Homo-oligomer: A and B are copies of this chain.
Amino acid sequence: MNTKQPAKSNKKNVLIIGAGGVAQVVAHKCAMHNDVLGEIHIASRTKDKCDAIAQSVKEKDSFKQAAVLHTHQVDAMDSQALVQLIQDTKIQILINVGSAFINMTVLEACIETGTAYIDTAIHEDPRKICETPPWYNNYEWQRKQRCADNNVTAILGAGFDPGVVNAYARLGYDMMDAGSVTDIDIIDINAGSHGKYFATNFDPEINFREFTGTVYSWQDSKWQSNKMFEVKRTDDLPVVGVQNSYLSGHDEVHSLSANLDVPNIRFWMGFGEHYINVFTVLQSLGLLSEQPVMTAEGQEVVPLKVVKAVLPDPSSLAPEYTGKTCIGDKVKGKINSVETEVFIYNVSDHKDAYNEVGSQGISYTAGVPPVAAAMLVATGEWDTGKMVNVEELDAKPFINLLNKIGLPTRIKDSEGDRALEFDI
């Protein structure tokens, strides 16, 4: 040990990439915990949006220790511009909550500068819809070796789903007898109401991509294909009650199937009949297509971009959003050789989220977890020096931290329904 080196400070500066509803949550939460994190920066293509978030953080007086949110303009598709920004701002952790199209250029900048990287969704090529699994192999995991070689911490999919649900899967898996887990069913229910005829909770271009193609699930230890809205389940869930959900493709099904020895891993997204009807009409007419069409007047137009233009801006929904979300994992296996099922979950309230950080509950559940991940990187507990998905990490400090900073976890099993907290 070289005692002449200064004591290592845990405080690390953070750069948030993106300025949408989730970024707003991330900014507020980073500010609220800047005793653990250091200087907080935010950058996006449109600096005005960053400034609006900075204004919101200032108005709500979110910084725990006196500070300001530094705002920047950057084209996140330009790795070298990002490298320059990382060097200029002297940040050690980057939280990427921008468009899913920018993941690889941002990750490259982190690898080049030795910056810890955290994101919340899988990389997507804007020219493709619903690529076939194994998805992480297409882009992210091809950089595993380079992250390890450069001692770069990269935590993939650290939102709620993927993210917290991966930690729930890990916890459920570890509670059961080794090799006994048969099923992990991730259920995502938004029982909230935005009061509009129809709206998407995220950018419609991304939102609709989740279910315009084939639905892939992991069943009998292999990939199975279905159509969207083909397979339905109904659950009586805590707080939100009886809810329908539909087998959907989702990032975490791939990483969980690769990292845990479980034959059936499925993701279920809740949809109301009205949502399905509107989606089906738009989809059937070809209005969700990202391929341009030609109008009678000779104008080339991408139908999906027009649908996006007529739908409410997702960020505009927050003030009127009421009701709750319930997202969790049903894990089936054996404990002491007895068949059992546990449901590990979180319930969040749209109005509470808006009051706290000015965003609706869907953005809130997605934005709080990467801040928790950043705090665990700052404290060293998750500073892995390699690329990992959340289920590869110790879930306990993550769950305990989320309990404290706004996303409490509960567990429901044969012994009842109770808060989940760990003694570490």
Report which of B197, B282, B296, B306 forms a contact with A303, defined as CB distance below 8 A: B306
Please judge, given known A-B contacts A301-B299, A301-B301, whether A306 and B293 are in contact too, CB under 8 Å: yes
Residue A419 is within 8 A (CB to CB) of chain B in the complex: no
| B309 and A305 contacting across the interface, CB-CB below 8 Å | no
Which of the residues B289, B299, B305, B311 comes within 8 Å of A305, measured between beta carbons?
B299
Q: Once bound together, how far apart are the Cα atoms of A301 and B297, in whole Å?
A: 11
CB closest chain-B residue, reference A281: B281
For A285, list chain B residues within 8 Å (CB): 197-198, 278, 282, 307, 310-311
A294 contacts the other chain (Cβ, under 8 Å)? yes
In the assembled complex, which residues on chain B have CB atoms less than 8 Å from the CB atom of A301? 299, 301, 306, 309
Asked if A295 CB lies within 8 Å of chain B CBs, one says yes
Is B307's CB under 8 angstroms from A287's CB?
yes
Q: Which of B197, B277, B284, B310 contacts A197 (CB 8 A)?
A: B284
Question: Does A144 make an interface contact (CB < 8 A)?
Answer: no
User: Inside 8 A of A310's CB, which chain B residues have their CB?
Assistant: 285-287, 289, 293, 303
Question: Complex: how many Å from CA A229 to CA B408?
Answer: 48
Task: Determine whether A308 belongs to the interface, using a CB cutoff of 8 Å to chain B.
Answer: yes
Chain B residues within 8 Å of A198, by CB: 281, 284-285
Are B311 and A306 closer than 8 Å at their CB atoms? no
Looking at the assembled complex, report how far the CB atom of A166 sits from the nearest CB atom of chain B, in whole angstroms.
31
Interface centre among A282, A287, A297, A311 (most CB of B within 10 A): A287
Minimal Cβ-Cβ distance residue in B for A305: B295
A281 CA to B302 CA, complexed, in Å: 19
Q: Which residues in B have their C-beta under 8 angstroms from that of A311?
A: 285
Instruction: Report yes or no: A281 in contact with B278, Cβ–Cβ below 8 A.
Output: yes
CB distance from A194 to the nearest CB of B (A): 14
A308 contact set on B, CB distance < 8 A: 295-296
Chain B residue nearest to A289 in the complex (CB):
B310
Q: How far is the CA of A278 from the CA of B289 in the complex (A)?
A: 17
By a CB distance below 8 angstroms, the chain B residues around A278 are 281, 285
Chain B residues with Cβ below 8 Å from A302 are 295
Q: Which residues of B contact A306 (CB under 8 A)?
A: 287, 293, 295, 301, 303, 306
**Closest beta carbon of chain B to A219's beta carbon, Å:** 30
CB distance from A401 to the nearest CB of B (A): 35
Central interface residue in A284, A286, A309, by most chain B CB within 10 Å = A309
Pull 14 A–B residue pairs with CB atoms less than 8 Å apart, ordered by A: A197-B284, A278-B285, A281-B281, A282-B285, A285-B307, A285-B310, A285-B311, A293-B306, A293-B310, A294-B309, A295-B305, A301-B301, A301-B306, A301-B309
Q: A277-B277, A295-B302 are in contact. List 9 more A-B contacts (CB 8 A).
A: A198-B281, A198-B284, A278-B281, A293-B310, A294-B309, A295-B305, A296-B305, A296-B308, A301-B309
**7 shortest interchain CB distances as A-B pairs:** A286-B310, A281-B281, A293-B309, A295-B305, A197-B284, A295-B309, A306-B306
